[in-house]
Amino acid sequence: MPTRKTGTWKLAYADFLTALVAFFLLMWLISGVSKEDRAVIASEFTGKPATVSVTASEALSDAARLLAMLELSESLKAAGDSVQLSADAQGVRIELVDTADRPLFETGSGALTETGAALIRAAGASLAALPYTVSIEGHTDAFSMAGTASSNWELSSARANEARRLLEASGFGTERVVGVTGYADTRPLSAGQPHLAANRRISLQVHLAD
C-alpha cells in the first residue's frame, strides 16, 4: 500500500501563515511612510519618475517651520507683547500691535513712534535673509477720528504705507512687497472687541509661495 503523507497540509498551512505575516508586516511598514516616500518606492518598481505635490497640510508644515525660526529672533522676542506670530496656509503672520505703554503710532496719525519704527526694523531684519514676499496691512481701532476729514480707511492705509517705506529704507527689497492695504477697523484681532488698542497695528503676511 502507498504511504500516506499526512503532514503535507501542515506545510501548506505554514506557508500560508508565513505569507500572511509577511503581508501584514509590509502593510505596517508602509503605513509609517509619507506620501512622498511611497511615490518614490513605487517609482522603483514602475520605472516612472515620482510625482510629489505640495498639499495644504505640507504648506502649513513649512509655515510652522518658518514660525519656529521667527520665534527665535532675538529682536522680535525683545518686543514682548507688541509682536504676535501665527502660522496659516499662506505662511506666517507677524502682528505688530499697539499697547498702552508702547504705542506704535502717533495719536490719530499714520506716523510711527520710535517704538513703532523699531518694531518695523526688527521685523525687516528678521525677514531680510529669507526668500519670501510680504503683504503689508494697516489697521485701526473702531474709534472715529473726530474733528478731521479723514476716516479710519485713510488712516489705516497711511500706516501701511509708512511701514512699507520704513521696510524699504531698512534694506527690504521693494520687489518683495506684493501688497499694501488699509483695512480700517474691519479686521479686529479679537472678534467683538473692535475698540482694543491692539487693533491699532501693522500686519505683515509672509507668503511662502506666490
C-beta neighbour count of 86 within 10 angstroms: 10
Model-level pTM? Answer: 0.70
- DSSP β-bridge partners for residue 203: 95, 137
- What pLDDT, on a 0 to 100 scale, did the predictor assign at position 52? 44
Q: How confident is the model at residue 45 (pLDDT cuts 50, 70, 90)?
A: low
Nearest alpha-carbon partner for 70 in 138, 130, 121 = 130
User: 3-class DSSP state for residue 190?
Assistant: coil
Q: Which three cell numbers stand for residue 158?
A: 497711511
Least confident of 99-113, 116-130, 139-153: 139-153
Residues 6+ apart with CB under 8 A from 160: 136, 137, 138, 180, 181, 182, 202
